[in-house]
Structure 1
Amino acid sequence: MDIIRIIVAILLPPLGVFLQVGIGKHFWINIVLTLFGYLPGIIHAVYIIAKK
C-alpha cells in the first residue's frame, strides 16, 4: 500500500499526505510547500509516507 501512496505523492503531494495522516498539520505544511514549489512538496510527502 505504501507504493501506491508514494506514486500518488509524486503526482499530487497533498493527496499522498492526506492518505497517510489525514487533515492535520503535515497536510497543511505540504500544501504550503507544494505552493512554493512542486519538488519540496514531493520530498515532504515521500518523507511523511516513508517515516511510518
Structure 2
Amino acid sequence: MAVTCSDIFKLIAAIILPPLGVFLERGCTSSFFINIILTILGYIPGILHALYVIVKY
C-alpha cells in the first residue's frame, strides 16, 4: 500500500488533534465519535485510535 501526501497530512493531524485525523479519513461516522470520547478520556488513547483508523482504511 502506497503512502500518499494526504496520508502524511492525516497522520500529522492525528498526532496534533486526533479527532481531526479520523474525521479527514472516515467522515462523521461512529469512529469519529469513539475517537472524541477516547481523546476526552486520555490524549494517548485518542492518538492510538486515530493512527489505527488512518492506517487501517
* Identity of matched residues, %: 58
Match of 1:4 among 3, 6, 9: 9
Greater RCO between the two (CA within 8 Å, min separation 6)?
1
Report the number of matched residues.
52
Give how far 1:24 is off. 0.7
Q: Who is 2:29 aligned against?
A: 24
Q: Segments of 4+ in structure 1 off by > 3 A? A: none
| TM-score, scaled to structure 2 | 0.89
| Unpaired runs of at least 5, structure 1 | none
| TM-score, scaled to structure 1 | 0.97
